[in-house]
Structure 1
Amino acid sequence: MGGPSREMTVMRIPLKKAKHHFGASLSRGTRPYNEDAYQAGTIDIPAFAKRRPISLTRNPKGEIKNEVTPAGSSSGDPQVFYFGVFDGHGGNECSGFLMEELHKYIEDAAKDFELESSLQIKGPVHRYIGWSGSAEVDEQMPASGSAPETTAEESLGAVKTYTPSGTESMKPPKPGSKHDGPTPGAKSRQSPLSSAPPVKQSMSVRKAEDLERELVMDWKELVGGYFRRFKPEWFSMSAGGRGHPAEQDVIAKRHYPNSAVPNEAVEGIGIETVLQYAFLRADYDFVSAQVGKRDEDPVLADRAINDDDILGHPSRGGKSIGGTKRFKGGSTCSMALVSTPTPTPFWHPAAPSTVVTAHVGDTRIILCKTATGLAVPLTSNHHPSLPEEATRLRRYAATFVTDSFGEERVSGLANTRAFGDMQSKRIGVSAEAEIRRIEVTSAEYSFMTLVSDGVSGHLSDQEIVDIIKEAQTPEQAARDVTSFATEVSADADNATTLVVRLGGWERRTEGGLGSLGTKELRDWRKAEAENPRGRM
């Protein structure tokens, strides 16, 4: 026997210091303060990855041969990774709150909804993968034959790179032209990648409905206005939402003659419902905490920090959400969870994984396709110009105004969804998350990046991706993107970049035009930024 045993090998990596797997960079730009924040690490929730076929003759655990695996979670599942970018406005109270607390809300919601692992099937198959006869059954059931073991080299070699038809290099604008170059990511209207079907992980629908109904009522009583009629996505219809996954479809099929749909088939919710609840609960707690405070008082501001202490013991009421005074600002949020069906980490070329994103505002999450080298957005910008947002808000009589730069705003805000912003809640500026599930195959994507609008407000998605391709490590890539975005902007906003290595990292420069597709444009941007006359 050669090499260490998989059963005894445990690898622990301090993620924020693992520059070959993760990188983060923040800059305040030309602003006096940095209101951005980020978070990265593991989160204690059950795995939500799609089960992979299991070999019954070779490698029975479905793991990848001769690879070191990370430690599992307390439930015995492979660890779930958490990445988030938060772009505060009006101060850093809200973005700081999300950085410190949002992952805890997700963990608590997973426990409240009694979420179970998607990798440990118990009871009837349809409880987790759809009703009997569903097209998902054959795809997720363990394989009856032998599945071949795949090495990293084989997975990388299996990716066939090509240049999609119509793909052209981005050129700088011609002298005298009014065209300023490609559309920045923060103003892009490119449709995000389609979401994969959800996976049922909890049968406690009655308890979930009670929790959802209570939260919806809390919003109606606290804010009113838009929240008197809002219907959160992924919430049960009986609780005032748009329906749990497949709820409407299953209810309709039950009424068909000779329907094979079992009565309990609708009894199931997934990670999407948990994330929606966690976002709305965190926003409710933050906003309600601000309602209970007074506006800034110069007398109270001069009080000693330990003024509320009793006989030297710290006051229990001394700490409050969002600081000691009422905070009227808010924050956007883009968050990604990564779960794998085996203990092999998601950055291994042969490891499949499931990525679930939850997004509010105009921060962005972008993938890089290994085969084509193209940027693949996972989020849309929640601005009044987005048709879906315009429809959602106009349904409740919200009014839009256009500023002097031609940009539509609602109640003076560029974002139609955000945490906080208590003065705009009644007209629909909510934290209803846009949630998307992506099933990632071996080496399908090279990396994932999360950026604030200080980056995407000046650079297109493809420029961001191409800068990352040229870096040696994700840590260097994050620094390069942030520094370039602040350098080429005349009025640089707070800029934050996270870069997460995925399975196709080693072939990131081979697909499509590589990093040369935007090279000329980026060189022109840099030359213009260094030209003192161009800054005038």
Structure 2
Amino acid sequence: TLKRTTAMSARGLRTVRTRNPLLPVPGRDAAWIVRDAANSRDCQRLRLGSTQPLRRHFHNYFVTHLPSSSLHPDSRSSAGPGHKLPRSASTPHTPGPRSAPAVAPPNMPSRDLTVVRIPLRSAKHHFGASNSRGQRVYNEDTYQAGTIDMPAFAKRVPISLVRRQAARTAAEGEGTSAASALGDPQVFYFGVFDGHGGIECSEFLREELHGYIEQAAADFGLKSSLKREPGAPDSMREPEALNTQREPAKQIQEQQPQDTLADDSGACKLESDLLDEYKRTISGYFRRFRPNYFSIPSTSESSPAEQPPSQPHRVTLESVLTYAFLRADLDFVTAQARKPDPDDPYVSDFPLNKDEILGSPHLPPSGHGIGGGSTTRFKGGSTASIALISTPTPAPFWHPAAHSSLVVAHVGDTRILLCETATGLPLALTQDHRPSTPAESRRLTRRFVTDSFGEERIQGLANSRAFGDMQSKRVGVSAEPDVSRVELRPAEFSFLVLVSDGVSGTLGDQEIVDVVKEARTPEEASRRVVEYATEVSGDGDNATCLVVRLGGWERRDEGGVGSLGTREMREMRRSEALDPRRRGRR
């Protein structure tokens, strides 16, 4: 619970002292003071030009409302004895046979709440992350965790469940998640990125991919799924306001999230422009490229009178994520193509403008350059898997009684798992993008080859989808993600796990979830998974693991046989890895 989190050191808990951290300062220039919530005495003045926007750094924390009593005794509360007698005049109360029961304490929602920022990396009871470079010289894995500014996409729940969750969280002293800048509950963002050939691409995704998602949601006009009809009670209101309204019978049943409608000249034009840019820049496979979640009208030679009337373009979260992934990939590849190729005798006879791309580069939402400080071209890439969690109510998604929606976008061979509370079995939400899989082989036809070890590769790569890899773009290595959605019912799943190929390529899904079950906190679980994978790995690849607590965390070891199913196998693998006589055979 959050009460245990608030008992952490003051360094991990920051109290927000103002609702608006940006305070204008009168003067001739446009000056602003950014006030840090952790230390309000330190103020930094930033002089901004008229055209340069203020960059919003990634929110690696979540904002929540906690009762003041969980932080310190609330002196402002009016609760207490009605008399004004001194303490020396008070005597213990001895209940008699005709004594009236004590007055019930006031409801928790009516008490003063304190807005706090809790960094996810400090909330060890709710989130854990660990990585290791293994036996490699460099660690090319990166990860990201926090909240992003985008509309909620959770499925609406009955108002009765909203009141029930609010009453339960209040009775347990649990904090309620604060609303985002858009007025919806915060959307949590978790991502793991496995780079290859270098760390430039995985670092770019860690720092910029969430910004592309936020920008795409704004450009597409994505609307919140929690908006109700005028006059209907809102699930975001306080429990007292909900109790005073009559509950319509039509809104008792759960409702699926509705797709929002946008103008064809808006979202559809963005999709068409992006595909045209792919054709001009890369060509090859992308000349006839049409992503699954794009709703672009088909171009035919028939006259306009014979074509059916155009329907409104439906904007979904899947189309927003697909656009954000493809936009980020194209920007990264274009930025690398502008850099000079490293000195190589083989390419000395090529034309100087072989890889030249004309025009001005498309900058990421942050406005920063792409590719870091490297002056030479980066030809590697990275895989990526992200998870977005949205709740229909202010109750946090890790509460046992909370409903939430999980959306996963995946490219490459990173992996995301859910652990079912009732059975203890893993539920894989991603599938590796290999050239040999049926879906990918149909997409790529016969463009892949087999190496000396029998592993099928496309242009020397083991993954058929990835960010970067500019030399393999023409044959079909794209960043089009597979997007899936899972509705998380109360305490249905115990935890969420995101791992890189260094873990999933060595351990089975059941092994991963069983190691997590034996840990006390998600932070300890992520560390144990990485240590075990590094210990038994034969190739020593980089290993990264993220563990996110869900509603069934306290019952994670009750389903099925708990962690006993793979314990004997794990002990045997660990003993074989430590045996010096077997090391040379691996």
Q: TM-score range by the shorter chain?
A: 0.7 to 0.9
1:433-456 Cα deviation digits (max 9, x unpaired): 000011110001000000000000
Could you say which residue in structure 2 is the equivalent of 1:448?
496
Could you say which residue in structure 1 is the equivalent of 2:57?
none
Correspondences of 1:145-294 after superposition (within 5 Å): 199-238=258-297, 266-294=312-340
2:59 matches 1:59 = no
| 2:196 maps to amino acid | H
Correspondences of 1:60-459 after superposition (within 5 Å): 64-66=168-170, 67-121=174-228, 144=249, 199-238=258-297, 266-296=312-342, 319-322=369-372, 323-394=374-445, 398-459=446-507
1:257-313 Cα deviation digits (max 9, x unpaired): xxxxxx998543121111000000000000011111101369xxxxxxxxxxxxxxx
Q: Kindly state the Cα deviation for residue 400 of structure 1 after the two structures are TM-superposed.
A: 1.7
Could you say which residue in structure 2 is the equivalent of 1:483?
531
2:82 matches 1:34 = no
CA contact (8 A) 1:347 1:503 kept: yes
Could you say which residue in structure 1 is the equivalent of 2:53?
none
Take 2:111 and 2:310, find their aligned partners in 1: how far apart are those partners? 38
| 1:533 maps to amino acid | R
Take 2:368 and 2:157, find their aligned partners in 1: how far apart are those partners? 50
Take 1:290 and 1:420, find their aligned partners in 2: how far apart are those partners? 9
Take 2:208 and 2:407, find their aligned partners in 1: how far apart are those partners? 19
| 1:5 maps to amino acid | P
CA contact (8 A) 2:156 2:257 kept: no
Runs of 4+ off more than 6 Å = 60-63, 145-148
2:161 matches 1:49 = no
Identify the match of residue 522 of structure 2 among 474, 477, 488. 474
Take 1:421 and 1:264, find their aligned partners in 2: how far apart are those partners? 37
Structure-2 change in CA distance of 1:55 and 1:490 (3 Å): closer
Q: Kindly state the Cα deviation for residue 51 of structure 1 after the two structures are TM-superposed.
A: 0.6
Q: Kindly state the Cα deviation for residue 525 of structure 1 after the two structures are TM-superposed.
A: 0.4
Which 10-residue stretch deviates more, 203-212 or 472-481?
203-212
Could you say which residue in structure 2 is the equivalent of 1:163?
none
Take 1:103 and 1:318, find their aligned partners in 2: how far apart are those partners? 14
1:398-438 Cα deviation digits (max 9, x unpaired): 42211222211111100000000000000000000000011
Could you say which residue in structure 1 is the equivalent of 2:51?
none
CA contact (8 A) 1:21 1:473 kept: yes
Correspondences of 1:499-510 after superposition (within 5 Å): 499-510=547-558
Task: Name the SS of the counterpart of 1:359 in structure 2.
Answer: strand
Aligned-residue CA RMSD in angstroms? 2.7
Take 1:357 and 1:454, find their aligned partners in 2: how far apart are those partners? 20
Structure-2 change in CA distance of 1:120 and 1:401 (3 Å): same
Take 1:50 and 1:264, find their aligned partners in 2: how far apart are those partners? 29
Could you say which residue in structure 2 is the equivalent of 1:528?
576
Take 1:33 and 1:460, find their aligned partners in 2: how far apart are those partners? 25
Runs of 5+ consecutive residues of structure 2 not aligned to the other structure? 1-104, 233-246, 300-307, 345-366
Could you say which residue in structure 2 is the equivalent of 1:15?
120
Take 2:159 and 2:311, find their aligned partners in 1: how far apart are those partners? 25
Task: Name the SS of the counterpart of 1:16 in structure 2.
Answer: coil
Structure-2 change in CA distance of 1:346 and 1:204 (3 Å): farther
Structure-2 change in CA distance of 1:222 and 1:145 (3 Å): closer
Structure-2 change in CA distance of 1:288 and 1:6 (3 Å): farther
Q: Kindly state the Cα deviation for residue 2 of structure 1 after the two structures are TM-superposed.
A: 2.9
Structure-2 change in CA distance of 1:504 and 1:277 (3 Å): same
Q: Kindly state the Cα deviation for residue 96 of structure 1 after the two structures are TM-superposed.
A: 0.2
Take 1:318 and 1:439, find their aligned partners in 2: how far apart are those partners? 36
Q: Which has the larger radius of gyration?
A: 2
Which 10-residue stretch deviates more, 110-119 or 332-341?
110-119
Task: Name the SS of the counterpart of 1:17 in structure 2.
Answer: coil
- So what's the TM-score if we normalise by structure 2? 0.69
2:564 matches 1:513 = no
Take 1:331 and 1:116, find their aligned partners in 2: how far apart are those partners? 31
Which 10-residue stretch deviates more, 317-326 or 15-24?
317-326
| 1:445 maps to amino acid | F
Could you say which residue in structure 2 is the equivalent of 1:5?
109
CA contact (8 A) 2:403 2:490 kept: yes
Task: Name the SS of the counterpart of 2:159 in structure 1.
Answer: coil
**Greater relative contact order (CA < 8 Å, ≥ 6 in sequence):** 1
Q: Kindly state the Cα deviation for residue 233 of structure 1 after the two structures are TM-superposed.
A: 1.4
Task: Name the SS of the counterpart of 2:205 in structure 1.
Answer: helix
1:202-256 Cα deviation digits (max 9, x unpaired): 433431100000000000110001000111011013178xxxxxxxxxxxxxx9x
Take 2:343 and 2:163, find their aligned partners in 1: how far apart are those partners? 66
Runs of 5+ consecutive residues of structure 1 not aligned to the other structure? 126-141, 149-195, 241-254, 256-262, 299-316
CA contact (8 A) 1:213 1:239 kept: no
Could you say which residue in structure 2 is the equivalent of 1:25?
130
Take 2:329 and 2:547, find their aligned partners in 1: how far apart are those partners? 27
Take 1:60 and 1:17, find their aligned partners in 2: how far apart are those partners? 30
Task: Name the SS of the counterpart of 2:581 in structure 1.
Answer: coil
1:75-120 Cα deviation digits (max 9, x unpaired): 1110000000000000000000000000000010111011111101
Could you say which residue in structure 2 is the equivalent of 1:187?
none
CA contact (8 A) 1:54 1:143 kept: no
Take 1:268 and 1:7, find their aligned partners in 2: how far apart are those partners? 43
Structure-2 change in CA distance of 1:523 and 1:318 (3 Å): closer
Greater per-residue strand proportion: 2
| 1:503 maps to amino acid | G
Take 1:75 and 1:88, find their aligned partners in 2: how far apart are those partners? 33
Take 2:486 and 2:340, find their aligned partners in 1: how far apart are those partners? 44
Provide the identity percentage. 60
Which 10-residue stretch deviates more, 116-125 or 205-214?
116-125
Take 2:160 and 2:310, find their aligned partners in 1: how far apart are those partners? 30
